[in-house]
Amino acid sequence: MSNAAKNILVVGGAGYLGSVLVPELLDRGYAVKVFDRLYYGNYLSKDVLDRIAFEVGDMRTISPPSLREVDAVINLGGLSNDPTAEYNPKANYEMNTVAAEKLARLCGEMDIQRYVLASSCSIYDVGEGDEAKDILLDESAAVDPQAAYSRSKYDAEQTLLSLRESVCPIVLRMGTIFGFSPRMRYDLVVNTFVMSALRNGYMTMFSGGEMWRPMLNIRDAARAYIACLQAPRDKVCGQIFNVVGRNYRISELVAEGAGGSPPGRGRGRRASGLPLQGHSKLPCLRKEDRARTEFPSRHLR
C-alpha cells in the first residue's frame, strides 16, 4: 500500500499512542481522520488538527458515513488498562471486543483494505515470579487471558482473524509502552517512574520489582502500525505480531533510572528470592543533580 493519497482512519487517535502516531502518519504523506470519544481530552496540536479530519464519537455506534473514503483503519480505541476494564467490564467488552468486531465487519462491507488492531502482550498473562515462565514469548506461545482487559483483547483478536476472508486484519500485541506523548499516560510503569523521579526525587518499587515487563518505545509502536500499512498484503494479513523492545524486570527499570544495580543483585541477572518486602523508595534524583542525572534521551525517545 503506497502512502500517496491513502486515507487512514485512526479510532482512538487522540489517546496516548494515537497522539504520536497521527503526526507520524502525516509526516509520511497519509491523509488522516481521527475518530475518538475524547475520554481524556484532545492534546493533538493545532498544527496537527489543522491537517486532519476529526470526528467525535463513540466507536460502539460508529456507522458507515464515518468510514467513507477510508482505505485502512487503525483501531486504538476502547479501554486501555486493567483498572478501567475492571471498573466497568461490560463497557470494556462492548468497546474492546464488540465494537472492534463491528468495525471489522464495516471494513469488509465497505471494501476497506486493512484493519490493524491494537492488542496487548497482557494476554499471555504468565510468568510472575516463575523463573521457568519468565521468558520473552513469541506469537506461537500459549495465551492465558484472565483479566477483563486481556480477555476482551483476546476475544477481539479471535473474531477479527475469523473475518480474514472479508477484511485484511492485522493484530499487534504490544508490550508496555513508554515515552512522551502530548496525551501522557502516567499509569504506565516507566512513565510513572519518570514522573515520580522528577517530581519527588525518588521512585517507589513494590514487592522487590521482580515482575517482568516487555517494554516498547512509543515511537517504535507508532512505526509498527505504519509498517503494517506499508507491508505487502500477503506478509501481514491475518497475522499476529508481538511488538516489544526488551524484557525488563521492574527492578532493572528502577536501577536504570537510579543509575545503579537492582537492589540485592547484579543488573540483568535473574535472581530468585525477594530481597525487599513491601515497597521501597529508591533515591533517584537529588535536586542539585537533576541537570546531570536526568534520564538521557535514549530512555525517552
Residues that bind ligand NAD (CB under 6 A): 12, 14-18, 36-40, 58-60, 76-78, 80, 95, 118, 120, 174, 176-177, 183, 185, 188
* CB-nearer residue toward ligand NAD: 38 or 110: 38
Closest distance of CB 141 from ligand NAD, Å: 16
Give residue number: closest CB to ligand NAD. Answer: 15
In whole angstroms, the minimum distance from the beta carbon of 155 to ligand NAD comes to: 13
The set of cell numbers assigned to 41 is 481530552
Looking at the Cβ atoms of 76 and 160, the one nearer to ligand NAD is: 76
Which of 245, 248, 238, 299 has the alpha carbon at shortest distance from 270? 248
> Taking the complex as a whole, how short is the minimal distance between the CB of residue 298 and ligand NAD, in angstroms?
19
Nearer to ligand NAD, 80 or 97 (CB): 80
> Minimum distance between the CB of residue 244 and ligand NAD, rounded to whole angstroms?
10
Q: Which is nearer to ligand NAD, 38 or 126 (CB)?
A: 38
CB closer to ligand NAD out of 36 and 210: 36
- Least spacing, CB of residue 252 vs ligand NAD, in Å: 18
Q: Which is nearer to ligand NAD, 1 or 44 (CB)?
A: 44
Which of 39, 295 has the CB closer to ligand NAD? 39
Calpha distance 75→153 (Å, rounded): 12
The amino acid at 190? V
Residue 221 Cβ vs ligand NAD, minimum distance, rounded to whole Å? 8
Minimum CB–partner distance for residue 57 and ligand NAD (Å): 6
